[in-house]
Amino acid sequence: MLSNTLISLWYLVKKQLVQPNEIDLGQTAILLIDMQKFFVDKLAVSERDCLIYRQIGMMDYGLQKGMPLAVLEYQGDGPTIEPLISKAKTFPNHIFITKKHDNGFEGTKLEDKLSSWNTKRVLLMGINASWCVRKTAQGAKYAKLDFITVDELMADESEDYRYNKYQDWYRKNGIYIKSHKDLIGISG
């Protein structure tokens, strides 16, 4: 029991010590999750606009670095919103995947596609951080992929998320960063 506790504590400390500029984004794919009108319209306008602006910035960076992109859309909730859908189509390696479950890996070809791209880790961004993004992060872990989450690239309508309930889960299970600017090395 004590050894498991020490191992867990060491793992948590190790995760806390990872600096964003130490993260190798090679072999990383971007997953854009459920940025559909049905979900996005539940956010405050200012939160929505900031989220989209930051996601576009991350997509620009990913495009420049040759990162592949998978766009996950919940079945029956319409397409990904503009300008994200147009930006996604500019990626040489991109795919749109319709999903029936919160976990983007469940019942889809996502894992196969990531494997064909030689992906070792995924950068998750989208809605809802407490459900679909988290379930997809769990799917990534099950597929033996590391995952990165950036607080500014996710949103949620849930008060539980806003009060850090799920942010703690991301910190304990993957690489969690507050700002996308830290991740890509932008100052200011």
Q: Count other C-beta atoms under 10 Å from residue 20's C-beta.
A: 17
pLDDT winner (highest mean) among 104-108, 125-129, 170-174: 104-108
Instruction: Sort residue 60 into left (φ over 0), alpha (ψ -120 to 50) or beta.
Output: alpha
For residue 20, the model assigns a pLDDT of 53
Residue 127 forms beta bridges with which residues? 155
**In this model, does residue 117 exceed pLDDT 70?**
yes
Contact criterion met (CB below 8 Å) for 94 and 85: no
Tokens of 111: 């894992």
Mean pLDDT of 126-145: 95
Each residue's pLDDT tens digit, 28-66: 999 999 999 999 999 999 999 999 999 999 999 999 999
The domain locations on the chain are 25-184
Q: Report CA-CA distances (Å) from 70 to 12, 83, 113, 136, 171.
A: 29, 16, 9, 12, 23
Residue 166: exposed, middle, or buried by beta-carbon count in 10 A (0-12, 13-18, 19+)?
A: buried
Q: Please, what CATH class does the domain formed by 25-184 belong to? A: alpha beta
**What pLDDT band is residue 22 in, cutting at 50, 70 and 90?**
low
